[in-house]
């Protein structure tokens, strides 16, 4: 997956909850913290990024809503798990 596209999708989903600037800054900062560099991102890296974002998001919207939002992110990225 293209890193730019993944970050853009994450920002699009997070923006209604955090605002565009905070969503963008959060996604980029977590990429750096996780060592996600370069133009591409693996599915495993994307999942690690989503998990990292979810932990911080819980502070703003609560755990239940954070879980819902992370599912929205997975759906937007096409990585949602089917039960």
Q: What are the structural domain ranges in the chain?
A: 3-77
C-alpha span between 44 and 34 (Å, rounded)? 11
Q: Which of 56, 2, 1, 61 is nearest to 27 (CA)?
A: 56
Question: Under a CB-based contact definition with an 8 Å cutoff, are residues 62 and 49 in contact?
Answer: no
pLDDT higher than 70, residue 81: no
The residue among 82 and 12 whose pLDDT is bigger is 12
pLDDT number for residue 80:
73
pLDDT number for residue 60:
85
pLDDT higher than 90, residue 68: yes
Beta strands in 1-83 (DSSP E): none
Question: pTM (2 decimals)?
Answer: 0.87
Question: Under a CB-based contact definition with an 8 Å cutoff, are residues 58 and 18 in contact?
Answer: no
Q: How large a percentage of the chain has pLDDT more than 90?
A: 77
User: Dihedral of CA 36/12/77/83: which sign?
Assistant: positive
């Amino acid at each position: 997956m293209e890193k730019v596209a993944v970050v853009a999708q994450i920002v699009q989903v997070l923006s209604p909850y955090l605002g565009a600037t905070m969503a963008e800054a959060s996604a980029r900062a977590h990429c750096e913290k996780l060592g996600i560099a370069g133009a591409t991102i693996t599915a495993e890296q994307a999942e690690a990024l989503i998990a990292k974002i979810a932990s911080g998001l819980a502070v703003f919207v609560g755990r239940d809503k954070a879980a819902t939002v992370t599912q929205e992110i997975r759906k937007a990225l096409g990585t949602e798990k089917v039960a």
